Amino acid sequence: MTTTYAAPAATTGAALAATPASTAPSATAPLRIGRHTLASPVVLAPMAGITNRAFRRLCREHAPGALYVSEMITSRALVERNAETMRLIEHDPDEQPRSVQLYSVDPVTARAAARILVQEDRADHIDLNFGCPVPKVTRKGGGSALPWKRDLFRAIVAAVVAEGARADVPVTVKMRMGIDEEHLTYLDAGLAAEQEGAAAVALHARTAAQHYSGYAAWPAVATLKHTVTTIPVLGNGDIWSADDALRMVAQTGCDGVVVGRGCLGRPWLFADLDAAFAGRSQRATPTLDVVASTLRRHAAYLVEFFGDENRGCRDIRKHIAWYLKGFPAGGELRQQLALVDSLAALDRLLGRLDPDAPWPGADAEGQRGRAGTPKRVALPDGWLDSPELTDAQREQIAAAELDVSGG
């Protein structure tokens, strides 16, 4: 199927956010992804440097019935058994289903990586990354640039699905709308994924050119849902609260949601989502002492994950601003927390917070993480000339997995 698509209608996530939550159903059916039934139709989006085993554990404490996906793993690094990559695909003993996201630009390497996960019983679910907009990925033809090359996209999906089928490990696809509004790929890619046996498709309703700027075009999720009819379609983009998730389902008819930046410094969002999709109205409004306790537990989990207190404490630094968003903490204390190098130092600094400070409401809500600005997508030379790969491009993208970090 080859079609030139017009840009989605001007309705945006911001406009849809004004829709009352009461338009959503009182309860939503469980989400089925292959053999897995999720009590909560919610998926944690893979985020590099964020969704490691420590953060997934923290989120699971709030809603064990959702699906929590690992950081993106490059297929090449997995095939070469890179030590860091092998650690990143580890799961807690009670983590079910065990979910790993693979990145690849080569069907042979993708198949070999999937074979390791399946034959060695390292995953119960595999997600394929075709949504990353980072220049070091797209300039080599990977991530959100890859679905433009239809045959390559289809071959990677088919190869991984075939390996997953050996042990009933379902494979899903996460993608963006396309490279830019003139080069939309999500409908062709969604149909191809469905035809090749993917168990679900997830759409981040932005183009690669948008990066994380502006608003997600939720109507594109509805269009994909009308196009892909035999497997679940999940919506992603601008879900900052449980009510946003309900509105997305009500407006688009999608089968579930993928949540990324909205949970940064707010793992209890998954409890809100679980309640919302079960038809319950309660929402978490933690006081500062509860937030500080959660932050401290996150730091301890990171220390355990890295096996190094200093490294774990360095990693928690990037989460500090997200946890404290909207709360009274003061610039000096925030700065000191951003330099913390031990759990003891973290305890001393957290002890200076006002434990009785109430949830700040709107000041703690809304967008988290960097939005950035629209930008021209870095692509291989001549990439947009044709949806078919040239021999030169085939050689060029073979180096893509080597240039993406070992994780």
14 has a pLDDT exceeding 50? no
Nearest to 14 by CA among 155, 298, 214: 214
pLDDT in the model for residue 373 = 87
The pTM score is: 0.90
Which tens digits make up the pLDDT trace of 21-49?
Answer: 444 445 678 899 999 999 999 999 999 99
Q: Which of 132, 254, 263, 313 is catalytic?
A: 132
Nearest to 323 by CA among 311, 331, 334: 334
pLDDT in the model for residue 9 = 37
Task: Output DSSP code: residue 256.
Answer: E
DSSP 306-335: HT-HHHHHHHHGGGHHHHTTTS---HHHHH
330 Cβ contact list (under 8 Å, min separation 6): none
132 is catalytic: yes
pLDDT in the model for residue 20 = 39
When pLDDT is cut at 50, 70 and 90, the band that residue 404 belongs to is low
Which tens digits make up the pLDDT trace of 379-398?
Answer: 999 999 999 998 888 877 76
| Ordered domains of the chain (ranges, CATH) | 28-282+373-403 (3.20.20.70), 288-360 (1.20.120)
Which tens digits make up the pLDDT trace of 216-261?
Answer: 999 999 999 999 999 999 999 999 999 999 999 999 999 999 999 9
Give dist(CA 325, CA 248) in Å, integer. Answer: 25
